[in-house]
């Protein structure tokens, strides 16, 4: 006989099931109604090849179509129905292994939901069974059990590439209520003798338990005359009553030991590499959007829902030990064994040191995203925003975007900042100064350092620059701002503290040595530098932080070249606020306007990128020129005390003596005669 089947594909198209295939399904205890609702149909070898995107298949077979939870067909990327096909003659793999079931090549794993079972699967008060294989799932559903089938024991994950550690739980799992729900894992009876299946069961149990489920692992008893039996075989031969006994035994065993998951009595799945894979799943460090645990430049970081924050090694090791004690490797939690697992986790979670964060993991590898800022309601793409592409401006938070930088407020494009603007009008009466400050704020929003500038906010105290810098710090987030003094730039290990920060703010400076000045030029040069973290391997990276110096007294630069001066931008703060107008709570009041201040800063970034250079105020340019002269006493002497005369002469010894007197009177340290001579030639 032929059984008529209705299987939706685009419109409804009639399919048939050949007698040989119908008989195979009935051997799993499936009745005509279950088979008809499941839409199972026979396929020729050619049809199978088209559905599976495979060639040279050995035989025809029958296809089990997949459905979404709402009952609509699950489709492949090309629009064909997603199926699992059982071949009449198994396909031999390259390793000689028989493959009875095949799913479409290039498609991710998918959960199998039996027809008309969605309401019960979504009802967290009902028990739920996870098993391997569609026929077993259909048999359980036919007997009245809400059930979900995995395409294989590891089928609750879908792989990213070939590395096991790149596999992630299927996103469909997130739609299933699990908190405080009884869930039973029922794999085939050969589980007790198959270490790989045991590992998969343990990993699935840990994932489900992490979702809040009460998980029981059932052991189907082996039958002497059969190599193994599955859930469908057990229900045919033993019936529902026997399955209820197994469930009750599992609950009783677990209650006696006060555990939510039945222990897996085996010692064979204790390889560090396998445990590392399971750890990421069991401790919820994997998601459908990416890993939540990362190893970068010899440090560990954990995703907090917005950004990746440092995760200390002792805390990570405690998590590993906790994982071991809950599983089959309870007795393996030694110092060396934990370190071995940690080594495998490093490989699975590593971001290359050459990658500059923030960055996104794509199919082609890591892509640096210097123009992205993480806020509490999404990832703001300033590049798209500045190009006028609002549809791509704000994307959902996800761990595939790795950033250490996040601000603790939401992006609101309609927010304003009237009090902030009024405050700036008071302390920076020159509109050019306010525009420059707005562009500096905009420049500090991202890791872009291509303009190769650093900034000096100068002015006598009580001029508002302290409030400005505190607001900048709160705008960017305190963890994204460093405060390394300029005189420590030449110290062996200190400069690395600025890496990953958006801005480094420092105040009045002491004497700088030539090493620190040289590193300052490198730091602001938008090029790679050598970083030497203490007790870790040195590496090269681009500095990320902009440099802002807040000073009442100008720092003592000794550079006589243009290296520092062409990079320096000075913003004078000319207004002194009288005591009766000073507001000690002003910073807190302005903090309420941070969303609006962000929009103000974004406008500054827009004007800066459009012009491609900072628009300095005349006062700032004059201040830098004066600063440069004061920092070069030889040039200051020559400009103040000498005039160009193409026909005149003066003895060099006399000129140097006058220069030495000038330095003595002004408190400068004179250059030697050779260096002074070079300065004369450079000036005239």
Q: For the domain made up of 418-624, give the CATH fold.
A: Rossmann fold (3.40.50)
Q: Angle at the Cα of 474 (from 471 to 476), degrees rounded to 5?
A: 110
The 10s digit of each residue's pLDDT in 454-485 is: 999 998 878 999 999 999 999 999 989 999 98
* 596 Cα distance to chain centroid: 27
pLDDT of residue 265: 32
Which residues in the chain show pLDDT less than 70? 1-14, 93-96, 159-167, 192, 222-227, 252-270, 288, 327-330, 388-392, 492, 508-516, 559-560
Q: What Å distances lie between residue 165 and 303, 330, 336, 345, CA to CA?
A: 17, 22, 21, 8
CA atoms within 13 A on the CB side of 230: 18
| Region for residue 341 given its phi and psi (left: phi exceeds 0; alpha: psi -120 to 50; beta: otherwise) | alpha
| Region for residue 654 given its phi and psi (left: phi exceeds 0; alpha: psi -120 to 50; beta: otherwise) | alpha
Question: Where are the alpha helices (H) located in 290-430, listed in sequence order?
Answer: 313-325, 335-349, 382-386, 418-427
CA distance 57 to 87: 9
pLDDT of residue 446: 87
Length of the chain: 684
CB atoms within 10 A of CB 242: 14
CA atoms within 13 A on the CB side of 582: 13
- CA dihedral of 482, 485, 487, 491, whole degrees rounded to 10: -40
The 10s digit of each residue's pLDDT in 143-171 is: 999 999 998 898 898 765 444 445 678 88
Asked if 392 and 384 touch (Cβ cutoff 8 Å), the reply is yes
pLDDT of residue 674: 86
Q: Provide CATH 3.40.1360.10 ranges for the chain.
A: 109-267
Q: 109-267 belongs to which CATH class?
A: alpha beta
pLDDT of residue 392: 58
Instruction: State the chain's mean pLDDT as an integer.
Output: 85
Joined tokens for residue 496: 């690395």
The 10s digit of each residue's pLDDT in 90-140 is: 888 666 678 889 999 988 899 999 998 999 999 999 999 999 999 999 999
Q: Provide CATH 3.40.50.300 ranges for the chain.
A: 418-624
CA distance 359 to 367: 5
Q: Give the position of tokens 């590499």.
A: 273
- CA dihedral of 166, 162, 299, 538, whole degrees rounded to 10: -160
CA distance 680 to 440: 36
Q: Tally helices (H) and strands (E) across the chain.
A: 22, 31
pLDDT of residue 256: 28
CA distance 545 to 567: 15
pLDDT of residue 257: 26
Joined tokens for residue 540: 């090269």
């Amino acid at each position: 006989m032929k059984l008529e089947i209705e299987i939706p594909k685009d419109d409804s198209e009639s399919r048939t099931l050949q007698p040989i295939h119908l008989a195979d399904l009935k051997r799993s205890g499936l009745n005509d109604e279950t088979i008809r609702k499941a839409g199972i149909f026979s396929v020729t070898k050619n049809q199978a090849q088209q559905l599976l995107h495979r060639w040279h298949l050995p035989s025809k077979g029958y296809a089990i179509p997949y459905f979404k939870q709402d009952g609509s067909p699950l489709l492949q990327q090309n629009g064909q129905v997603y199926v699992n096909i059982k071949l009449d003659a198994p396909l031999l793999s390259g390793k000689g292994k028989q493959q009875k079931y095949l799913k479409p090549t290039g498609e991710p794993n998918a959960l199998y939901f039996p027809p008309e079972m969605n309401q019960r699967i979504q009802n967290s008060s009902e028990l739920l069974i996870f098993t391997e294989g569609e026929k077993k799932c259909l048999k359980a559903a036919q007997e009245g059990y809400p059930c979900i089938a995995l395409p294989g024991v590891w089928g609750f994950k879908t792989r990213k590439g070939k590395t096991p550690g790149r596999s992630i739980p299927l996103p469909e799992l997130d739609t299933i209520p699990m908190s405080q729900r009884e869930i039973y894992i029922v794999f085939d009876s050969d589980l007790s003798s198959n270490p790989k299946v045991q590992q998969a069961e343990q990993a699935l149990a840990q994932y489900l338990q992490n979702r809040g489920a009460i998980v029981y692992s059932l052991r189907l008893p082996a039958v002497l005359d059969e190599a193994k039996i599955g859930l469908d075989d057990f229900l045919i031969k033993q019936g529902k009553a026997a399955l209820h006994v197994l469930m009750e035994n599992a609950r009783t065993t677990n209650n006696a030991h006060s555990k939510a998951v039945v222990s897996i009595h085996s010692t064979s799945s204790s390889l560090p590499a396998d445990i590392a894979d399971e750890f990421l799943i069991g401790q919820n460090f994997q998601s459908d959007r990416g890993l939540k645990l990362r190893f970068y430049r010899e440090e560990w970081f954990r995703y907090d829902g917005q950004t990746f924050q440092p995760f200390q090694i002792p805390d990570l090791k405690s998590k590993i030990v906790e994982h071991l004690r809950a599983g089959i490797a309870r007795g393996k939690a030694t110092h060396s064994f934990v370190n071995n697992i940690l080594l495998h986790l490093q490989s699975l979670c590593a971001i290359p040191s050459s990658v500059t964060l923030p960055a996104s993991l794509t199919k082609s590898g890591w892509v640096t995203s210097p123009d992205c800022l993480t806020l509490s309601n999404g990832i703001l793409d300033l590049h798209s925003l500045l190009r006028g592409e609002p549809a791509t401006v704000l994307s959902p938070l996800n761990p595939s975007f790795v950033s250490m930088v996040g601000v603790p407020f939401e992006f609101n494009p309609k927010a304003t900042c009237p009090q902030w603007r009024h405050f700036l009008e008071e302390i920076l009466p020159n509109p050019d100064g306010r525009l420059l400050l707005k562009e500096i704020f905009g420049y500090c929003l991202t890791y872009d350092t291509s303009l190769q500038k650093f900034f000096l906010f100068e002015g006598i105290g009580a001029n508002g620059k302290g409030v400005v810098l505190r607001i900048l710090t709160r705008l960017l987030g305190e963890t994204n701002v460093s405060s390394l003094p300029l005189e420590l730039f030449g110290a062996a290990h200190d400069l690395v503290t600025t890496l990953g920060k958006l801005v480094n703010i420092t105040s009045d400076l002491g004497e700088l040595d030539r090493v620190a000045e040289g590193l300052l030029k490198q730091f602001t040069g938008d090029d790679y530098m050598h970083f030497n973290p203490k007790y870790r391997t040195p590496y090269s990276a681009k500095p990320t932080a902009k440099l802002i110096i807040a000073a009442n007294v100008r720092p003592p630069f000794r550079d006589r070249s243009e290296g520092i001066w062409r990079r320096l931008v000075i913003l004078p703060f000319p207004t002194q606020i009288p005591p009766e107008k000073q507001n000690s709570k002003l910073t807190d009041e302005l903090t309420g306007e941070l969303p609006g201040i962000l929009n103000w800063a974004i406008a500054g970034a827009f004007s800066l990128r459009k012009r491609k250079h900072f628009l300095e105020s005349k006062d700032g340019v004059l201040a830098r020129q004066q600063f440069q002269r004061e920092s070069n006493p030889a040039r200051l002497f020559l400009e103040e005390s000498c005039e160009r005369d193409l026909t005149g002469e003066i003895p060099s010894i006399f000129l140097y003596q006058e220069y030495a007197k000038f330095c003595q009177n002004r408190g400068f340290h004179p250059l030697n005669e050779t260096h002074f001579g070079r300065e004369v030639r450079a000036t005239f």
